[in-house]
Structure 1
């Protein structure tokens, strides 16, 4: 298979024309999609899942090219893990598409209905946003997840994946589109930018009359660029500088298991905990927490109290409290109770996902109400910060903003509202 990352140079690529053509085709396809019954979209998604399964050999071949190139470029183990596919992960991608297919169709659902004193009946209903642009980095599964969620919610989508996963994304996209076409859905409803040229990102961000919303999914530098340059509304997904706080009333076994899982299950995902805060009342548990993490292959960077319990702990510096490592590294700090833990999260967190481990319901409620993050958990691993785990089938990111959607962005969050007013001849005096 040819390496698709070899793309046109800025001198030969007209990025504005490319995006203009894709967006206009997407708009036309979106109008058709918005009129389809839920059953037609369900059939298309099921066909897409079957096509992805059937294309497993081709997807693995494409992924091997991306992995080889990634190693040559010096990608970190965490980034390579995000990029890597095997038969099991491809099956997971197909299953995620099927799960989205099984979700209730949010389009045209009535969120509220009321009758005014003059007899007018008003409904607030969910409708597609329109054309969505999604810019993402090294996870090829996003190609299918985003395509499925946008299709389920009646939106057309333009996908711009990262260059490190372009071959994999193209193979998945080809299978996805082949599947929906067999079910009679428009192929242009799910388009993938065919080149890795960065100028296309700028063209997408400037396409304010053609694209209705941009969703960035990736690292801080990508999101920062999108927010700085976009002339299109942005549904932002910021970094996951997440915390797990072990309260003085924590169950020791539960705390150790949750902390280990939250950090080490998959270190390269946005739901991984990057800082562990430990109540001084739980100081006796500190050596066990540190040992468990180090023996699991995690580097621990701690304050003076944490350093004192194990010579293998490295000194934490100020930057550690603000760092999303996406690697087998964790910062650990002692705090004086839940109030100081909340203050630390507010000062250093990214408002993504934070958790408390405690058997004290008062402390739990204080943490739930005091932490201003998109997801706040009690006695559960932060790695559950995932649309699939929330029952959304999949997600295109965790929104850390406060407008429109917050938390996992699934099919329902990709709709907007429309008011339908039915009268019997009323005029306004």
Structure 2
């Protein structure tokens, strides 16, 4: 007969039990589902099947079934979905750790495998626990801009999500009836039945279960309060002390708002962005034209109030951008109907030195090759001499230090 190690001194906490686990599991069921959906939405926002430029997860096959052309309305869409994804992920960390602690003795039952079906259940549990720890760890490291994991974050997090969520669904199917039964019994205040999570000889209590729930909830609330502010404007940003883009804005004046990568980090040489050296190459159906910054300023100028939102979950308030509409540049090279565009940057380091945008993004009148922001020329760190700004697009697709635009079906 299977036996857990609940009798060992380290497993004698009276807090453990199926009802404690069921409550935590129910919270994770709702939270992880939202995380998975917003993660898929975030992935789709990159238009990753576009020209194989934006695709950082080759060979995804049927896992890319949900892909669609990312909309430009509302302009704060990515700011909302990715802000929810990252903030919720951080907030759920205490719940996840408490849930793993509550079932820890179950991981050490002996014998470890009793039958083929039990072996499959144990395998799904291994994938569930390992997948959860992997996804949360890589996500937190990405938020902190600490890329210590091997390989690119994008495929690691994408494929890890499918492994984790597949194991999660299997676990829900197996355990949901038991969890619901325990929740109903808890509401009716029925005595807890003996089982592999009920300690037969509990130690002296140091905390009630209600206190334990309060501790977990308080820890989650603290993480929320110290991280969510980077997705908001004004004083709330000062509360985001646990994230790189929290706290005060990195400067003053029209260009004094958050950035992700500086010009120095991207390898931009000041000499190549001067008025004498820099030319924008625009290619389309009728050929290629090369435009200086002065010539771009002579074209019709348009303004749009748009935020910047990045995969790490941070965002800026609306900034007033001014420049040339992408669809006007497309028309300049014979593309009368807006079409896809490949954007190439001067940057030498970092991902997305090339990025592609869909025709619907090019067609939007708010999509600009921006030359100025908030009434002042772009600073080097914000993309001088020119950058892309597109409503609702992830920050990495708002390419800085643009060198070439190639219009046409990609």
TM category, shorter: under 0.3
* Larger-gyration structure (1/2): 2
Give 1 or 2: higher strand fraction: 1
Task: Give the alignment's TM-score, normalised by structure 2.
Answer: 0.24
